[in-house]
Amino acid sequence: YLLSLTDERYSTPAIESEAANRGRDTFHTVGCVACHSPRAEDPQELLAENSLPLGKVHEKYSVDGLVAFLENPLQTRPAGRMPQMQLSHWEAIDIASYLLAAPTTASVTEPFPLNADLAAKGKARFTQLGCQQCHSVDSQKPAPTSLALSQVRPNQGCLSDEQGSWPLFQLSDRQRTDIQAALVRTSQDFTSSDHIALTLTGMRCVNCHQRDRLGGVSAERDIYFHTTNPNLGPQGRIPPTLTGVGAKLNPNWMRQVLVAGRTIRPYVTTRMPQYGADNVAHLVELFEQVDHLPDVEYPRFDDQKKLRESGTELVGTAGLNCIVCHTFQLKAAANMPAVDLTEMAERLKKDWFYHYMRDPQSLSRNTIMPSFWPAGRAMRKDILDGDSDLQIEALWQYLLDGRQARTPRGLIVEPIELLANDEAVMLRRSYPGVGKRGIGVGYPQQVNLVFDAEQLRLAMIWKGKFADPGGVWRSQGHGTVRPLGDQLMRFSPGPDLDDATNPWVVDDGRPPSHQFMGYSLDDKMRPRFRYRFAGIDVEDYAVDQIDGSENQAFLRRQLTFKSDGDRAGLTFRAASGNSIVRADDGVFVVDGRLQIHVQDASTAKIDTREVNGAAT
């Protein structure tokens, strides 16, 4: 009967391994494992005891069926217990591929044939068993004929653990006892706070959010909450607290978050689920009823124009430097793109804004927002005569302009350029794709490199201007150095020198058997990088030179290996890219842009291979 309701048929297409690999990352990143168990490679469930079981997904779903469910779970399960995770179509395919990639034989390999006689009997059985009381058919809503909860006998029927003309739900003793206790308590006994707690618990909002002493990210799941910007600290990866949220957010904004999926924290990889308006919209009114802050007496002012000008000054680099950490008009701050200043007045209630400005820690314990008015005293005495409340009001008046707010001073900055004139210059900081132990070197002949002292490799090279250090010299210094020039070549992560048969499995950390030994400088301030591996001392030394015949600058890289004894089974990576072509004897061209000439190539064993998806 169910098969007769649709023309679609179950199919079992092959699972693409790349899609499954992407799906594993997405499953463990966007918030699925806040409720479901994270999985090992096998795929064994790691936290099954405290998770909602997925069951044998591969025996239940086809890829197409699971993709359709993941894209719009509320269509099938409108109660919202499985929310919409704002997945793109391709993300849904990836997750479905991952969950269905279990190493098992498909239980269905051929289309199930439709039998009209059995379909007619199935339809009668569907009605006889009362399936339509819970399930919709042909877009018709369920037609329940159930008793009111006040008329239910807690020890009879479904709750009796006896077979009869009622469904057998296979409830555990704990579940049965909990339901019986809930039936005794009438809805009139519940306060607004109780209704909030019931919704947050039932929808498992408390797996990500904390409200007072209820919920919050558990220690065992903390590692699955990520951020795209570690500079923001815990608040950059952990969903915000719901304690006092009714006193914080304007009702219209809160409804947009709960119902329409509006978000202001793109750096938090865990997504805000959509549970459906019927299931969570009532929280807006409940939060408003329950959450309150002491009333604020706002300062009186006569010159609104002057106040807004002072607000513009406070936001900029000549004031409190707000734009260094906050996004402005959708333009992210370079180092710490916290919530957008131009959305604050739309989001926040004015009373809450005042309380937060006066004492950020009192409302957000883990915030990295500094206090500019400690103990009520303004740090900037030269603006509005140091009147704390007037300064806060000036900020609020400025923020009321929203997207139309005037551009504050310091938002647009001129680049800084490090120059290498007669000697090489070095800058030890974080570079794109390289950790904080990156060492950049700019050479007078305008060929430049970055050495990764964490993973002991040549990380990148380029020609032209050296670098803009503005990202690490300005503000709080948590950004990255920006290479200037052109023809930038990036090389694969992992150490250049490694064991040929048992190489280190590359991750973001430090290879355990490699040791950086520092560097020395020659008379032109060019570094000789030194490190040790497997009893071998390595020196990596680059010199900028000019090719006399073509008047082109190039780097001559000299590698020296010293050891007390012989050591076989090692490999040294000279370069990597999308493609490597062997040209003349000893000449290799990487990605059609970088030419490497290996001296004495005839006596060296040189080959090209694919390593971790890169030509090497």
What is the structure's pLDDT at 6?
83
- Give all domains of the chain, ordered by start, each with its CATH number: 3-99 (1.10.760.10), 190-290 (no CATH), 304-404 (1.10.760.10), 425-573 (no CATH)
b/e per residue, 420-457, with b = 16+ CB within 10 A? beeebbbbebbbeebbebbbbbbbbbbbbbbbbbbbbb
- Residue 106 pLDDT greater than 60, yes or no: no
Segment 64-75 mean pLDDT? 94
Both ends of the chain: CA-CA distance in Å? 58
DSSP secondary structure string for all residues of 118-154: HHHHHHHHHHHTTGGGT--BTTBPP---PPPGGG--T
Please check whether residue 599 is in contact with residue 586, taking contact to mean a CB–CB distance below 8 angstroms: yes
Residue pLDDT, tens place only, 310-335:
999 999 988 998 988 898 888 877 67
Q: Say which residue the tokens 């030394």 belong to.
A: 541
- Residue 284 pLDDT greater than 90, yes or no: yes
Residues belonging to the chain: 616
- Residue 51 pLDDT greater than 60, yes or no: yes
Residue pLDDT, tens place only, 209-268:
999 999 999 999 999 999 988 888 898 999 999 999 999 999 999 999 999 889 999 999
Residue pLDDT, tens place only, 157-189:
888 878 887 888 888 889 989 888 888 876 667
What is the structure's pLDDT at 511?
86
The amino acid sitting at 210 is Q
Segment 597-601 mean pLDDT? 78
What is the structure's pLDDT at 345?
95
What is the structure's pLDDT at 44?
80
Please check whether residue 351 is in contact with residue 295, taking contact to mean a CB–CB distance below 8 angstroms: yes
Residue pLDDT, tens place only, 389-444:
999 999 999 999 999 999 898 777 777 888 999 999 999 988 988 988 999 999 99
DSSP state of 182: H
What is the structure's pLDDT at 171?
87
- Residue 112 pLDDT greater than 80, yes or no: no
What backbone torsions phi and psi does residue 328 show, to the nearest 5 degrees? -135, 120
pTM: 0.70
What is the structure's pLDDT at 227?
93
Least confident of 226-235, 338-347, 410-419, 554-563: 410-419
Segment 587-591 mean pLDDT? 88
Question: HEC string of 357-413?
Answer: HHCHHHHCCCCCCCCCCHHHCCCCCCCHHHCHHHHHHHHHHHHCCHHHCCCCCCCCC
Q: Is 143 or 348 the better-scoring residue by pLDDT?
A: 348
Please check whether residue 492 is in contact with residue 611, taking contact to mean a CB–CB distance below 8 angstroms: yes
Least confident of 128-132, 492-496, 612-616: 612-616
- Residue 474 pLDDT greater than 70, yes or no: no
